[in-house]
């Protein structure tokens, strides 16, 4: 079976909870929504040796989202121990800068981006915390407005993920759409098998997301590669698919990682995933193996789940086939 069969719930979620950043172009309206709900918003940029891109992020976010429109109440760079001038450049443009090891010193210091994200919950005061990676070359206010907008629109939305990149355009206007290599090779197959609804997230590993504090303070944080995967699984098992939203931020230009680096990342993510399977008591109670693989295609700003049935059927060892045994004059095994 192959086609556009859409489970109703996922179909509805895609319609109501998938946005395009263009829907949040009016920053003044977002500020009004924020003030009406009495919310404070913090922005955290986790860094490690990002001197080439951090300056521009800070200048543009401070100018557009603090000076011109007071959408962001607080803005911090939390660093994992950069050896370059990341903190110097960030401070020169007025960002509050912190070393992760100096936050909550009693709990110690662990290496990894997840550590920065976790410590940001303690350091920052916002009701919503927005995380944006520091390596984005084409930074723009939409990287914030696009992911905080859905939370300001709908109080039930707790966690909004960014997605990007629609590079392949077909003559029909329909194009393949999805995440990076690790998402498409590892995460999407795993989600399709064990948490099929989560395959509706187009880029579950994107480093840009906005989350309500009430969620962040109740979920554990792997400190390494698995933090995004763990978040999604934990939020999903506790609050369901409706807690999520996702927003198309168009193109994101960043450094490309080598296959070796992606292998390391996949290893870390797989550890996190299997840990979650244990934690949810799923290891010995695996659900019936799903056979539908879910990918995306996009037409204009509309995304559709493309389902493909993949059944990994098997043949027995040839030595159990009587015709084979007869031909070669050997005794058949049962």
Partner 1 sequence: MPNNINSILDLIPAHRAALHPLREILLANAMMLGELPAPTFGEEKRIAFLGNRFTEEGLHNISIDEVPGNCMAMIPGTVGEQNILICAHADTVFSNKVDHAMSVTKDTIRGPGIGDNSLGLAALATLPNILKRLKIRFNDNLILLGCTRSLGHGNLGGIKFFLENNKFPLRSGICVEGIQLGRLSYASVGMLRGEINLSMPSQYDWTNFGATNAVTLLTRIVQGIQSISIPTEPKTKIIFGSMNTGTSFATQPTSASLRFEIRSEADGMVSLLRDQIADLIEEIATQSRTDITLTVVAHRKHGGLDYSHPMVKSMRKILGALHINPYIDPSVGELSELIRANIPSVTLGLTTGQHKNEYNETIDIEPTFDGLAQLIALINSIDGGICDA
Burial of 284 (0-12, 13-18, 19+ CB in 10 A): exposed
Min dist CB 51 to partner 1, Å, is: 7
* Residue 317, number of CB atoms within 10 A of its CB: 8
Q: Say whether residue 243 binds partner 1 (CB under 8 A).
A: no
Min dist CB 62 to partner 1, Å, is: 4
Q: How many residues in the shown chain lie near partner 1 by CB under 8 A?
A: 23
Supply angle C-alpha 223, 137, 58, rounded to 5.
Answer: 75
Choose which of 92, 237, 251, 301 interacts with partner 1 (CB under 8 A): 92
Min dist CB 255 to partner 1, Å, is: 12
Across 138-191, where does the E strand assignment appear? 159-163, 174-177
Q: Which stretch binds partner 1 (CB under 8 A): 60-68, 74-82, 218-226, 244-252?
A: 60-68
Q: Coil, helix or strand for 161?
A: strand
Closest Cα partner for 160 from 69, 300, 41? 41
In the region spanning residues 23 to 52, those forming contacts with partner 1, defined by CB under 8 A, are: 51-52
Q: Say whether residue 68 binds partner 1 (CB under 8 A).
A: yes
Q: Say whether residue 307 binds partner 1 (CB under 8 A).
A: no
Choose which of 24, 44, 46, 64 interacts with partner 1 (CB under 8 A): 64
**Which residues is 210 bridged to in the sheet?**
130, 160
Min dist CB 168 to partner 1, Å, is: 19
Burial 42-81 (b: 16+ CB within 10 A, else e): bbbbbbbbbbebbbbbbebbbebbbeebebbbbbbbbbbe
Give the rounded distance of the alpha carbon of 245 from its chain centre: 11
Choose which of 6, 59, 193, 282 interacts with partner 1 (CB under 8 A): 59
Choose which of 5, 12, 35, 138 interacts with partner 1 (CB under 8 A): 138
Supply angle C-alpha 101, 104, 106, rounded to 5.
Answer: 95
User: From CA 240, how far away is CA 105, in angstroms rounded?
Assistant: 34
Min dist CB 133 to partner 1, Å, is: 16
Q: Which stretch binds partner 1 (CB under 8 A): 57-65, 122-130, 164-172, 180-188?
A: 57-65
Choose which of 253, 283, 310, 318 interacts with partner 1 (CB under 8 A): 253
Q: Which is nearer to partner 1, 52 or 241 (CB)?
A: 52
Choose which of 5, 137, 283, 319 interacts with partner 1 (CB under 8 A): 137
**Which residues is 295 bridged to in the sheet?**
306
User: From CA 242, how far away is CA 259, in angstroms rounded?
Assistant: 34
Choose which of 89, 129, 162, 306 interacts with partner 1 (CB under 8 A): 89
Sites of contact with partner 1 (CB under 8 A): 51-53, 55-56, 58-60, 62-64, 67-68, 85, 88-89, 92-94, 137-138, 140, 253
């Amino acid at each position: 079976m192959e086609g556009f069969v859409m489970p109703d719930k996922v179909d509805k979620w895609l319609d109501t909870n998938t946005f395009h950043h263009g829907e949040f172009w009016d920053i003044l309206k977002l500020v009004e929504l924020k003030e009406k709900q009495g919310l404070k918003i913090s922005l955290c940029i986790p860094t490690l040796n990002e001197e080439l891109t951090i300056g521009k992020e800070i200048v543009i976010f401070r100018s557009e989202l603090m000076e011109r429109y007071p959408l962001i109440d607080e803005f911090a760079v939390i660093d994992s121990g950069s050896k370059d001038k990341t903190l110097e450049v960030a401070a020169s443009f007025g960002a509050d800068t912190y070393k992760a090891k100096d936050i909550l010193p009693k709990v110690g210091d662990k290496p990894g981006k997840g550590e920065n994200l976790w410590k940001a919950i303690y350091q920052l005061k916002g009701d919503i915390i927005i995380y944006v990676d520091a390596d984005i070359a084409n930074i723009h206010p939409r990287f914030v407005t696009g992911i905080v907008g859905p939370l300001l629109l709908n109080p039930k939305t707790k966690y909004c993920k960014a997605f990007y990149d629609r590079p392949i355009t077909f003559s029909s206007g329909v194009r393949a759409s999805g995440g990076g290599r690790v998402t498409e090779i590892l995460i999407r197959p795993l989600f399709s098998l064990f948490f099929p609804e989560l395959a509706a997230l187009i880029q579950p590993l994107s480093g840009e997301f906005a989350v309500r504090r009430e969620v962040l303070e109740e979920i554990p944080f792997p400190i390494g590669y698995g933090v995004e995967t763990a978040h999604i699984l934990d939020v999903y098992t506790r609050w369901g698919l409706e807690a999520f939203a996702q927003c198309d931020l168009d193109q994101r230009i960043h450094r490309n990682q080598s296959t070796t680096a992606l292998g390391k990342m996949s290893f870390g993510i797989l550890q996190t995933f299997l840990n979650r399977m244990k934690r949810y008591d799923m290891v010995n109670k695996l659900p019936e193996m799903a056979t539908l693989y879910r990918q995306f295609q996009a037409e204009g700003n509309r995304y559709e789940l493309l389902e493909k049935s993949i059944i990994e059927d098997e043949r027995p060892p040839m030595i159990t086939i009587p015709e084979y045994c007869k031909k070669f004059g050997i005794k058949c095994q049962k």
